[in-house]
Amino acid sequence: MSLSTAFCAIDFGTSNSAVALPVADGVRLVQLEPGHDTMPTAVFYEAELGHGDGEGARFGRAAVAAYVEGHEGRLMRSMKSVLGSSLVEDTTAVGDRAYRYIDIISHYLRHLKQRAEREAGAPLGRVVLGRPVHFVDDDAQRDARAQQALESAARAVGFAEVGFQFEPIAAAFDHESRIEREELVLVADIGGGTSDFSLVRLSPARRARLDRSADILANHGVHIAGTDFDFRVELEAIARELGFKAAGPGGREVPSKTYFELATWHLINTLYAPLRMAEVKSLKSFYANPVHHERLMRVLQRHLGHALIGLAEGAKIEVAAGGETRIDLSVIEPELAVAFSADRLAQCIASDVERVVATGVDTVRRAGLTPDAVDALYFTGGSTGLTVLAQAIAAPFTKARSVYGEKFASVATGLGIHAARMFA
């Protein structure tokens, strides 16, 4: 059988992934799940199933749902972060089986490839993968090994030809197609887990170049983004209804550990263990208002932790779109609700926003330039929909215009454009 010449592009992200296919007038995204062209980068292995090659594992939203629903097994997220580390060839246990981390990445890539082939109606033998400017900071050898590991994972699932493009360059292709002169552009990719900034050189003359490494002048990032904002919103708007920062009988503040864990996605299920439930129950005497403790226990007994994070995220999004909302907490108690406004959101995330803005400014300074040298800010990533954040990032760059790309599709679409050029 001859190798397929058909191709696709994969944005293998830390939090979410997407796949682009070529069409007559450009590229389009694959519907990876019903109604969704992006999918959480997550794999769930049921403890009692084999999954020798990933078959039968759950992916994306189904993987997250299995974990939240308490299925016995192992949820793997943020697999991209092991690239460049010694963990990539290490194994992790799931029931009585052991999986190498690189094989878990292959299982996920195979699932993406199968979804894309189903939509394309043909086998796909070539791929362009996105990569960060640095998998590993200040270590060229480990960075090269990280790309080699990702390439090996792609080849293991049937891609005979594998190309790469830098994610910030790919994200900015849409903007580059519209400009008429050379520009210095600060790409702000604010996602779920990190805020990444790249200062890039774009121009009509550079569009067709396959190697754009010389056009990346500086790159910097900080581990603050959407999930951190959700954490702040839950603590300040929702958890206060459960006693967070409330005073106890002697005036001392109620212990905060449980609330921090309740607002941290991967720690929530630990609170449902019998010993932890008993520990929280024993804290009743610390509460001056018994209603707070009753509500907290109800949340734990009904396993509502992940639902509360969802409500916090929803409130953040609604406020970003319309300015004010009410968080419906009737899952805890009938008619319980909390008003939430844009001003309150700004207060909740002010310290985080300050650090993100400082990272953007520092990125430009690392290139030996000042903010006045930037011609445009290009925003991509789900969290750039927060007006308070985007405006704060733009404030130091007084001569730059703000350009908004597709929040979830810019990188995948740009990779698809690059794939069409590479494999033409």
pLDDT in tens, 136-158: 878 899 999 999 999 999 999 99
Distance from the first to the final alpha carbon of the chain:
22
Among 50-54, 220-224, 317-321, the range scoring the smallest mean pLDDT is 50-54
Band of pLDDT at residue 299, cut at 50, 70 and 90: very high
- The C-alpha angle with vertex 73 and arms to 191 and 331, in degrees rounded to 5, equals 65
Residues 6+ apart with CB under 8 A from 221: 194, 195, 196, 197, 359
Query: Which region holds residue 334: left if phi is over 0, alpha if psi is between -120 and 50, else beta?
Result: beta
Q: For 353-375, what is the mean pLDDT?
A: 98
Is the per-residue pLDDT at 90 higher than 50? yes
| Stretch (H or E) spanning 308 | helix 305-322
Band of pLDDT at residue 93, cut at 50, 70 and 90: confident
Q: At what angle do helices 226-233 and 305-322 cross, to 10 degrees?
A: 100
Is the per-residue pLDDT at 183 higher than 60? yes
Short-list 55, 18, 66, 19, CA closest to 40: 18
Q: What pLDDT does residue 1 have?
A: 32
Band of pLDDT at residue 55, cut at 50, 70 and 90: low
Residue ranges in 163-273 assigned as alpha helix (H)? 167-176, 226-233, 257-262
Distances 318 to 67, 212, 288, 290, 339 between C-alpha atoms, Å: 26, 38, 33, 31, 12
Q: Which residue has the tokens 């519907």?
A: 31
Q: For 297-306, what is the mean pLDDT?
A: 97
**The amino acid at 277:** M
Q: For 380-386, what is the mean pLDDT?
A: 92
Share the mean pLDDT of the chain. 93
Q: For 201-227, what is the mean pLDDT?
A: 94
Report yes or no: 32 and 10 within 8 Å, Cβ to Cβ: no
Q: For 278-288, what is the mean pLDDT?
A: 96
Q: What pLDDT does residue 52 have?
A: 57
Q: How far, in Å, CA of 198 to CA of 178, rounded?
A: 19
Q: What is the pLDDT of residues 208-218, one digit of tens each?
A: 899 999 999 99
- The C-alpha angle with vertex 128 and arms to 123 and 129, in degrees rounded to 5, equals 115
Q: What pLDDT does residue 2 have?
A: 39
Among 44-58, 102-116, 245-259, 363-377, the range scoring the smallest mean pLDDT is 44-58
Q: How far, in Å, CA of 412 to CA of 260, rounded?
A: 34
Q: How far, in Å, CA of 395 to CA of 418, rounded?
A: 32
Among 32-41, 163-172, 246-255, 344-353, the range scoring the smallest mean pLDDT is 246-255
Q: What pLDDT does residue 85 have?
A: 84
Is the per-residue pLDDT at 195 higher than 50? yes
Short-list 361, 362, 381, CA closest to 195: 381
Beta strands in 101-209 (DSSP E): 126-131, 161-166, 183-190, 195-202
Q: How far, in Å, CA of 271 to CA of 254, rounded?
A: 17
Q: What pLDDT does residue 49 have?
A: 64
Q: For 84-101, what is the mean pLDDT?
A: 82
Q: For 55-68, what is the mean pLDDT?
A: 91
Among 100-104, 294-298, 356-360, the range scoring the smallest mean pLDDT is 100-104
Q: What pLDDT does residue 156 have?
A: 97
84 compared with 20, residue with greater pLDDT? 20
- Residues 245-274, buried b or exposed e (16+ Cβ, 10 A)? ebebeeeeebeeebbebbbbbeebbebeee
Is the per-residue pLDDT at 84 higher than 80? yes
Q: How far, in Å, CA of 421 to CA of 424, rounded?
A: 5
Query: Which region holds residue 138: left if phi is over 0, alpha if psi is between -120 and 50, else beta?
Result: left
Read off the tokens for 413.
């679409």
Read off the tokens for 362.
């520092």
Percent pLDDT > 90 in the chain is 81
Residues 6+ apart with CB under 8 A from 278: none
What is the phi/psi pair of residue 137, to 5°? -75, 140
Q: What pLDDT does residue 313 have?
A: 95
In terms of residues, how long is the chain?
424
Read off the tokens for 115.
């979804």
Cα atoms in the 13 Å half-sphere on the side-chain side of 238: 33
Residue ranges in 157-286 assigned as alpha helix (H)? 167-176, 226-233, 257-262, 274-281
CB count within 10 Å of CB 423 equals: 18
What is the phi/psi pair of residue 288, to 5°? -70, -35
CA 420 to chain centre: 26
Band of pLDDT at residue 297, cut at 50, 70 and 90: very high
Read off the tokens for 319.
């406020």
Q: What pLDDT does residue 89 have?
A: 84
